[in-house]
Structure 1
Amino acid sequence: MTDYDNFQGMRSKRTLEIWKMGIVNYLDALKLQEKLASKRKLGVITDTLLSLQHPPTYTLGKRRTYHNLLIPESELSAMGANLHYTERGGDITFHGPRQAILYPILSLREAGLGARKYVENLEATMVRLSSLYNVKVHAGESGQTGVWVGERKIGAIGVRISSGITSHGLAFNIDPDLSFFKHIVPCGITDKGVTSLRMEAEMELPEDEVIHEQLVSCFTQLFGYEHVVWKDRSFFP
């Protein structure tokens, strides 16, 4: 049986292929998303979820809100951080170690979802994960995407949808170095703070890898996948 035959067999179920990638340079992850999104548009791969972390990285959305970077770009390298420009929605944000990132490459048409419901499902994924640690979070209000503990943001969302195929996704703060957020206006919101699961949970947390896998599990449940295939770093060239 060929790989194509296997893929056609999986399509009879709602199938998600999950790539556990560890720490990945932002540009490498961006190029991979573009490649996978093109393949998904052609229907030659199934829905795919990238689960990873980034080195310290600031990203700007397609609105290019440079004013929300509060230090000169020339100072970022001295901090060990980079700045990248993207075509996702949303404002400036930070990605770094000890942050769980999911980049779904999905067909919204096959999932039967509109853009708004898709974003709501991403928010619900982080709400469900937080509940495992008795942390009460809520989705943003008045057009503010992401999830919050009171007035403190714990999970950010920035998505791109092209021809009904998604890329980019969500970032959930497990225990990143929150000092990096002091150099930006996170998501363009001036009057609210940032927090993490470590700061909010009144219990000992497991290893980050366990929390990454729990986040993926919450995602697969909410999006209704019937068949899940895991691939770890040994799969990648």
Structure 2
Amino acid sequence: MRVPRSLEVWKMGMVNYLDALRLQEKLVSARKVNKISDTLLSLQHPPTYTLGKRRTDHNLLIPESDLKSIGAELHHTQRGGDITFHGPHQAILYPIISLRDIGLGARNYVEKLELTMIDLASLYGVKASLGGRCETGVWVGGRKIGAIGVRISYAVTSHGLAFNIDPDLNYFKNIVPCGIAKKEVTSLRRETNLELPTEEVIQEQLILCFARIFGYSSVSWKEGASLLNDKKEFDEI
């Protein structure tokens, strides 16, 4: 008999990257000792470039000193993957879940993240697919629409996926996205002729795709933006 599993979704809105990183670290620690159940952060970031633990700085194509002039930041992380961009009009999910509890290995976990974005794209008639060898993420033809970079510590996940709804694609010209040269980056807006609903609706659809693919029987929702400004509530996680 299948055991029902619930997912708590925190809707965060626009969050500074370092604040989101601090929250993830706090939640990961809590999830490891079963203080919280599986949790999913849904948010967007101001313009931000992030590097993975391999530190492929050469894939940043402009001097770091120039980033302030274009309104962007650069942060180094401990996730897998190469350099990527996060910004407004991009749907980001950071799952803080126990792979041990749901019986998944790392590769299967990444595949399910990819399927989550493929399912969302299909709702708008966009035929997205997995990439070729060494091409993680989700692609529409030779154009990347969704990126993945994860960290797994003692079977608990952090970081996650970023799906391009309608970000400013010019930001991607300053990097070799995910270390894959001579490939375009695209967005849902660019790939469909349909009238898109609000970004909040699209992000909720992405969450529901995630919940279905990962087999959660119920989803609860929490407005989490205020938590970052409430030290008492944050410390109690």
2:48 pairs with 1:57 = yes
| Paired residue secondary structure (1:160) | strand
- Inter-partner Cα distance in structure 1 for 2:70 and 2:163: 22
Task: Find the counterpart in structure 2 of residue 6 from structure 1.
Answer: none
Deviation at 1:234, TM superposition (A): 6.6
Deviation at 1:15, TM superposition (A): 1.2
Task: Find the counterpart in structure 1 of residue 5 from structure 2.
Answer: 14
- Inter-partner Cα distance in structure 2 for 1:153 and 1:21: 25
- Inter-partner Cα distance in structure 2 for 1:234 and 1:89: 26
Checking the alignment, whether the CA contact within 8 Å between 2:11 and 2:225 is kept in structure 1 is no
1:44 to 14, 35, 38: 35
**Paired amino acid for 1:203:** L
Runs of 4+ in 1 over 4 A off after TM superposition: none
Task: Find the counterpart in structure 2 of residue 105 from structure 1.
Answer: 96
Task: Find the counterpart in structure 1 of residue 65 from structure 2.
Answer: 74
**Paired amino acid for 2:172:** F
- Inter-partner Cα distance in structure 2 for 1:229 and 1:203: 29
For structure 2, the residue ranges without an aligned partner over 5 or more in a row are: 231-237
**Paired amino acid for 2:167:** P
**TM-score, normalized by length of structure 2?**
0.94
Deviation at 1:143, TM superposition (A): 2.4
Checking the alignment, whether the CA contact within 8 Å between 2:13 and 2:225 is kept in structure 1 is no
Percent sequence identity is 69
Task: Find the counterpart in structure 2 of residue 156 from structure 1.
Answer: 147
- Inter-partner Cα distance in structure 2 for 1:233 and 1:19: 5
- Inter-partner Cα distance in structure 2 for 1:111 and 1:191: 37
Deviation at 1:66, TM superposition (A): 0.5
- Inter-partner Cα distance in structure 2 for 1:234 and 1:157: 23
- Inter-partner Cα distance in structure 2 for 1:79 and 1:234: 26
Q: 1:85-164, aligned counterparts within 5 Å? A: 85-164=76-155
2:191 pairs with 1:197 = no
**Paired amino acid for 1:210:** V
1:168 to 159, 163, 173: 159
RMSD over aligned Cα, in angstroms?
1.0
**TM-score, normalized by length of structure 1?**
0.94
